[in-house]
Amino acid sequence: MKHATSIPSTAVLALSLAAFGSGMSLRLTDAQLPRLAADFGVSLASASYVITCFSVAYGVSQLFFGPLGDRFGKYLVIAWASACCAITALLCSIAPNFPSLLAARFLAGATAAALIPLSMAWIGDVIAYEERQPVLARFLIGQILGVSAGVFVGGMAADYLNWRIPFLGIAIGFVLISLKLFSLNKRLPEHARQTVQGEGAAVRRMMREFSQVLSGRWARVVLATVFLEGLFLYGAFAFIATHVHVVHGLPLSRAGLLVMLFGFGGVLFATAARLLVRRLGEAGLTLWGGMIAALSLLGIGVGPHWIWALPGCFFAGVGFYMLHNTLQINATQMAPERRGAAVSAFASCFFIGQSVGVGLAGLLADYSSTTTVLILGAVGLLTLSLNFSRLQRKKL
């Protein structure tokens, strides 16, 4: 770690907790889609807009938070964004109708946009490259567990509680997280609170920073790949709980519990990241991760019984995080002098890809089936991982 001794030991842990809240906020509505469709009298495709609105806002807002973090300090911006997340989660919990819920979800996505990308960029600032991938993997345990908890809690609320209750819990959690982040920011040494001074108007400066990121050919490859990863993987992932509920008759609470295994697969990767990086290298992680995730989605989609989703969800998590963590480490090096903007562009492409994928998957689920959604997601994910692995080997 760069200047590691002067950074509080809980600094990365606090960021991981914020990532937990972000992941939970994103995936909370996945298992609730059938319940929301019934409660508000809308189609399944329309209900999926609660995911799309969050993802669109999350993706677009990256264009602002990256330069903002570079200008005012990444850790401080993360703390303020966490405080705002508490407010937007509360708005979701009190939404009186479906349009209001969509508006609140849009605001929730916009406020959560700063948390994970700026945390990754801050880690890139203070952690040496050779140590960065395992640290990023450990940090992302928060997001991984948040994704799993979001699906599980959403399913439990859909079956046994009111869908509003989990949003209230998220709001309380973000209040506590933001207070801890503000406290830690005051204790950070100067190099860990560094800012990048820009010249000229904010909009022109923002455009200049992103143009610097996009000027690199490899940066464009990474951004295009992560857009497609979000489209294929999360377009399918968002409908796993719905698939086992509709096709196999599993209650939403149990369907959400199944999808939790995706997160446990991610935790397995995080704990073994150092060994896997050493054994497989980045190109190997991309290749094997994509193949494992694709085969897992395929198994969930065509399996004759819901039991296939047990190993399917677990290994989908292992494979996805092998692939995605490799893309993340590339993102932290796309433009080191503008790391906040670079990682934010990465997250923007990822979540815009998710929003497109979930929107298309919702339409496909209505007009065809969730099985088709999962099969197409598997094929697309396999194709992009093979291509990115090939490009990595050529780059080396």
- pTM beyond cutoff 0.75: no
Please enumerate in sequence order all residues whose Cβ is within 8 A of that of 331, keeping only pairs 6 or more positions apart, or say none: 120, 222, 226, 342, 343, 346
**Does 129 score more than 80 pLDDT?**
no
Categorize the per-residue pLDDT at 3 as very low, low, confident or very high, splitting at 50, 70 and 90: very low
Q: What are phi and psi of 238, to 5 degrees?
A: -60, -20
| 226 contacts 117 by C-beta, under 8 angstroms | no
For the chain, give every domain's residue range.
Answer: 4-193+204-395
DSSP sequence for 235-297: HHHTTHHHHHHHHH---HHHHHHHHHHHHHHHHHHHHHHHHHHHHHHHHHHHHHHHHHHHHHH
CATH number attached to the domain at 4-193+204-395: 1.20.1250.20
How many C-beta atoms lie closer than 10 Å to residue 41's C-beta? Answer: 8
- Give the number of C-alpha atoms closer than 13 A to the C-alpha of residue 82, restricted to the C-beta side: 30
Q: What pLDDT is recorded for position 193? A: 65
Q: What is the mean pLDDT of residues 359-364?
A: 85
Asked if 229 and 324 touch (Cβ cutoff 8 Å), the reply is yes
Task: Say which DSSP state 305 is in.
Answer: S
4 band by pLDDT with thresholds 50, 70 and 90: very low
Q: What's residue 295's pLDDT?
A: 94
Confidence of residue 367 (pLDDT cuts 50, 70, 90): confident
Q: Tell the residue number behind the tokens 């989605």, with chain if given.
A: 297
Compute the chain's Rg from CA coordinates: 20
Higher pLDDT, residue 233 or 199: 233
Q: Tell me the C-alpha distance between 43 and 41, whole Å.
A: 7
